[in-house]
Amino acid sequence: VAQAGLLMALMAAACAQRLQAPHALQVEALATPVGVDAARPRFSWRVAPQDGVCGARQTGVELIVFRVTGAGSELHYNSSFVNTSAHFLDYPGAAPALASLERYEWTIRAFDSDGAPTPYAPRTWFHTGMLAASAWANASWITGGPDRNLLRSTIALPGKGVVQAAAMVAGLGFFQFFCNGIQVGLPAPDVSRKHDGGWTMYARRAAYVGLDLTTCMQDVASGPDGTNITLGVWLGNSWFNSAGWYARGPYPFPSAQNGGGFSYDQPNQLLAVISVLFSD
């Protein structure tokens, strides 16, 4: 009996530990995504028990979202306690709206079955894309003309700190984006992915991609007087600037000539918005 009592006491002591802090934080199933264009994005995470925990489980969470500013960050939303055992949470419709082209940081903590909270997870971030058509209002489609697929522009950055920078880019048909000669956006070590964008029904919609330019611009803007930075886009044909085999007989598919959508035989085009947040 004494041995059994001692064993029960040891088990109770071991079970006093709780859940670990949430980890593997994601927004829209991606870690630190750029170009989130869901007005109510889904946050997700994982939780695990601490060593020696017996039957620990999540019964609630607290989500905190911060908006990144030139001076740091400011509180944007605090969910307070949310009663849920799920490991995902949609951004509430009643919460302050997210804005286009903003970077947000966020953290979360979980509560176990006894109501004990975990530590907050280390902050991570996401960058919103175009949450409304009006976000494209100051941008226009440009082209280099027939057979001119390399577009390039040099801009001057002032001599002040860059907090974050991003590009929202649509290139028809495919594209590669370069910042000071370095291709941006390839998810190393995935060397099989060479181009961004993709085929759509171009007469109805064009896909865009969010790219993080923060590191590139921070490196360039580190000089005391600012430095020029060169941004370039190399456009590829896809089925946009090509008659394509779908447009030729004997295949009875739609074509540019009969108003279809498989290929358009048009000059390659670019639509891009660059946003930069400075420290001031």
pLDDT of residue 263: 57
pLDDT of residue 248: 45
Q: In the structure, what pLDDT confidence band is assigned to residue 25 with cuts at 50, 70 and 90?
A: very high
Cα 192 to Cα 215: distance, rounded to the nearest angstrom: 23
Cα 280 to Cα 275: distance, rounded to the nearest angstrom: 15
Beta-strand relationship, 88-90 and 42-46: antiparallel
Q: In the structure, what pLDDT confidence band is assigned to residue 265 with cuts at 50, 70 and 90?
A: low
The predicted model scores a pTM of: 0.83
Average pLDDT, the chain: 83
> Can you point out the beta strands (E) in the chain?
23-27, 34-36, 42-46, 58-69, 72-78, 82-83, 88-90, 103-112, 124-128, 150-156, 162-172, 174-179, 182-184, 209-212, 228-236, 269-278
List pLDDT tens digits, range 85-130.
Answer: 999 999 999 999 999 999 999 999 999 988 999 999 999 999 999 9
pLDDT of residue 157: 82
* CB proximity list for 138: less than 8 A, separation 6 or greater: 273
Q: What is the dihedral of CA 75, 119, 39, 59, to 10 degrees?
A: -130
Q: How many residues does the structure list for the chain?
A: 280
List pLDDT tens digits, range 139-174.
Answer: 999 988 777 889 999 988 876 789 999 999 999 888
Residue pair 240/264 in contact (Cβ under 8 Å)? The answer is yes
pLDDT score of 179 more than 60? yes
pLDDT of residue 6: 46
List pLDDT tens digits, range 67-84.
Answer: 999 999 999 999 999 999
Residue 156's SS3 state is strand
List pLDDT tens digits, range 205-225.
Answer: 888 999 999 998 888 765 555
Cα 36 to Cα 129: distance, rounded to the nearest angstrom: 5
Phi, psi of 9, rounded to the nearest 5 degrees: -65, -40
List pLDDT tens digits, range 50-62.
Answer: 876 667 889 999 9
Mean pLDDT along residues 224-243: 78
pLDDT score of 202 more than 80? no
pLDDT of residue 267: 81
